[in-house]
Chains A and B, each alone.
Chain A
Amino acid sequence: KQEVTQIPAALSVPEGENLVLNCSFTDSAIYNLQWFRQDPGKGLTSLLLIQSSQREQTSGRLNASLDKSSGRSTLYIAASQPGDSATYLCAAASLQKAAGNKLTFGGGTRVLVKP
């Protein structure tokens, strides 16, 4: 059974510092890995999707890497801003055909960027 872990659970940085968010998963047989952002009381916003054949994916200040062999993905946010304060969740999509496109989520990292 896939298990996804995000450490630390919370992170506080000064504005301008680069953010590094970690995600680890136990089963390397994944289709893809998604990173999401969640603001308090809101739904999830998809940030990046990395296919299992890719090593990294970039969008603006965001860069996500994927290392299936070690069961790790990292989300980098460059030059953090107070507006980046949110909870960031990673989720792994199962490769098992019977499982369809099921996502297994980590518990999230709550980020606070201080002005």
Chain B
Amino acid sequence: DGGITQSPKYLFRKEGQNVTLSCEQNLNHDAMYWYRQDPGQGLRLIYYSQIVNDFQKGDIAEGYSVSREKKESFPLTVTSAQKNPTAFYLCASSPWGMGAHNEQFFGPGTRLTVL
């Protein structure tokens, strides 16, 4: 099956800890994205990557880091510098290119809770 997988589904973090959220896709998409969703709100972009070994900050990148060593994988690390990390994290991918058909597809999400 083609799609996007995220793990784990639920993650608990103690204050001061770094945690890494996994995102893998087998859609052969060049671009990948990380969003954060807070209760009752829309999604906000954290980081995105257009190509392997390159990534850009989104609107709320502070306290987060990413890597893109493989086309299929785009892990997100939530560092201790992120002051309010409890949220639902969604990963997405899309074809790349400045065209009108770059539909984004989303994974099932990871719910992170700080204890």
Contacts and interface: CB of A to CB of B under 8 A. Distances in A.
B66 interface: no
B48 A100 contact: yes
A93 B97 CA distance: 13
Contacts of B109: 41-43
A43 B90 contact: yes
Contact of B108 (A32, A43, A108): A43
Interface stretch (A45-53, A68-76, A77-85): A45-53
B42 A52 contact: no
Interface residues of A, number: 28
Contact of B43 (A9, A53, A105): A105
Given A43-B90, A101-B104, A4 B42 contact: yes
Interface in B20-63: 31, 33, 35, 40-45, 48, 50, 56, 58
27 contacts: A4-B42, A31-B98, A31-B99, A34-B103, A34-B104, A41-B88, A41-B111, A42-B108, A42-B109, A43-B107, A43-B109, A44-B43, A44-B106, A51-B101, A89-B42, A91-B43, A93-B102, A97-B98, A100-B31, A100-B56, A101-B31, A101-B96, A101-B102, A103-B45, A103-B104, A106-B42, A107-B41
Interface of A: 4, 9, 31-32, 34, 36, 41-46, 49, 51-53, 89, 91, 93, 97, 100-103, 105-108
